[in-house]
Amino acid sequence: MNFSDKLGSMDFLKFLMHSQQLTNWRSTGGPELMYIVLSHESCDLDSVASTLAIAYLHFRNRGIFKHKILPVLNMLRCDYASKTEVKFLLEKRSINAETHLVFRDDVPGDLLQCSRFILVNHHVSPFHYCSEEVYDYRPYQCEAARLPIYCQRIMHPMRSCAAIVTERYLSRIYNSSNVQCLFVFELLHAALLLQNNFFEYTLEQLSEMRDFHMLLYLEKQLGILDMPKRTILRDTLVRAMFNLDELTLPQILRREFKLMCAKNENYFVRIAHCCFPMAVTRFISYEFAEQALRELGAENKLNFIMLLGTSTQQKGGLGIKEIGIIPLDALRAVGDRRLFDHLIINLNAADQPLLSLEPYRGLDFMRGAFFIIDECNIKFYDILSLMQRIIYDFISKTI
């Protein structure tokens, strides 16, 4: 690490430490504004690295206005321990929750009401009405996200948000201060690797991937240019991800958690998506699994819980290999029975993505349905997007 790298890394840590003090900021009605840089609810490595990186980029390129920049991880502070690979990677660079990170429940309600937002790794948000920038690689959902006309949408067809943010650091327009920070680049590099299944693709495929070109740029800065070093980092991240020994069952459920809601005049549904690096069949085999699921359901007033189990593949990549759909009211409501059938039929019929589901026959747990996914590289966001389409289709046809 050269002298300029040290200065940049120290400045980044100071920025994060100062961010915690901003939760006490109050608007005086002057020209100074608060910008909250808000991550996706899943708070996976891609989301966390991108949020911290884009917040720091804005902080260093504020120009004459000097607005406040507050990065916020969109999860409860008590759930941070469940993000084992995120916690491992941040603590490796002396970034810890107590002194450097701000979580959703750290931010007072009145500060949320008077702030403007920069949404990272998502664009469907309760704060869409006052969002000024969006960074996301998914297609724009105009019905679910009513973004203002003036909101800048940085929504490129990539495979990770980290790649989009890396491009921002490369831009002379958006990085006029030429911000270079070793810590930030390491976070983005790890996020790119993990989000892209460690780039287990052919050379022809890699040549067309913008994510891979951003990875090469970061490796040029970091000096990580050979496959053995990538493999070491991959194995380290995977071990950290699958190290769940110190987590409780409720923490595992909230590890990668997304609440999806939909309603019409006659029906309102709330479905939780819980993704974790463990087989679904293993999770439900624990003695207190049903209790943990029912507590999560009561806490969030859920109709259904979808369990998604992530596993490693032969080449070292990661993908969701098991699905479980659990009805919380034992399908007593007519609407829930109809939606349950609708979910099963459409998940089996889906081709974007193709899941090739194989049912676990004879598995009786909370009247749920459980499947093996016989396809590679199925990600959390793939399932979220598919489920959103299936649920909205049901809601639009159910009067």
User: Which residues 6+ apart lie within 8 Å of 171 measured at CB?
Assistant: none
Range(s) of the domain holding residue 310 = 249-397
Read off the DSSP letter of residue 81.
Answer: G
Last residue in a domain, options 213, 239, 265: 239
**Residue 363 DSSP SS3:** coil
In CATH, what number is assigned to the domain containing residue 326? 3.10.310.20
Q: pLDDT, tens digit, for every residue of 289-305?
A: 999 999 999 999 999 99
Q: Is the peptide bond before 327 cis (omega within 30 degrees of 0)?
A: no
Q: Assess whether pLDDT exceeds 60 at residue 386.
A: yes
> 227 and 334 share a domain?
no
**Residue 154 DSSP SS3:** strand
> 221 and 278 share a domain?
no
Q: Identify the pLDDT of residue 398.
A: 66
Q: pLDDT, tens digit, for every residue of 156-171?
A: 889 999 999 999 999 9
For residue 244, being part of any structural domain is answered with no
Q: What is the mean pLDDT of residues 22-39?
A: 86
Q: Identify the pLDDT of residue 267.
A: 87
Q: pLDDT, tens digit, for every residue of 228-252?
A: 778 888 889 989 999 999 999 999 9
Q: Identify the pLDDT of residue 76.
A: 93
Q: pLDDT, tens digit, for every residue of 259-278?
A: 898 888 888 999 999 999 99
Q: Identify the pLDDT of residue 178.
A: 92
Q: What is the mean pLDDT of residues 39-51?
A: 94
Q: pLDDT, tens digit, for every residue of 95-132?
A: 999 999 999 999 999 999 999 999 999 998 989 889 99
At residue 393, φ and ψ (nearest 5 deg) are -65, -45
Last residue in a domain, options 204, 239, 274: 239
Distance spanning both ends of the chain, measured CA to CA: 62
Last residue in a domain, options 219, 239, 259: 239
Q: pLDDT, tens digit, for every residue of 63-76?
A: 767 789 999 999 99
> 311 and 184 share a domain?
no
In CATH, what number is assigned to the domain containing residue 169? 3.90.1640.10
DSSP codes, 185-207: HHHHHHHHHHHTGGG-S-HHHHH
- CA gap 47, 73 in Å, rounded: 9
Q: Assess whether pLDDT exceeds 50 at residue 286.
A: yes
- Please identify which residue in the block is written with the tokens 């993704």: 275
Q: What is the mean pLDDT of residues 83-104?
A: 95
Q: Identify the pLDDT of residue 146.
A: 83
> 25 and 98 share a domain?
yes
Q: Identify the pLDDT of residue 190.
A: 95
Closest CA to 195 of 46, 39, 40: 46
Q: What is the mean pLDDT of residues 40-55?
A: 95
Give residue 12's Cα distance to chain centre.
22
Q: Identify the pLDDT of residue 399.
A: 54
For residue 64, being part of any structural domain is answered with yes
- CA gap 395, 29 in Å, rounded: 43
Domain count, the chain: 2
For residue 348, being part of any structural domain is answered with yes
Mean pLDDT, the chain, as a whole number? 90
Q: Identify the pLDDT of residue 130.
A: 93
Q: How confident is the model at residue 4 (pLDDT cuts 50, 70, 90)?
A: very low
Q: Length of the chain, please?
A: 399
> 215 and 284 share a domain?
no
> 7 and 29 share a domain?
yes
> 277 and 210 share a domain?
no
Q: How confident is the model at residue 21 (pLDDT cuts 50, 70, 90)?
A: very high
Percent of the chain at pLDDT exceeding 70: 94
For residue 390, being part of any structural domain is answered with yes
Q: Assess whether pLDDT exceeds 50 at residue 1.
A: no
> 218 and 271 share a domain?
no
For residue 384, being part of any structural domain is answered with yes
At residue 103, φ and ψ (nearest 5 deg) are -110, 170
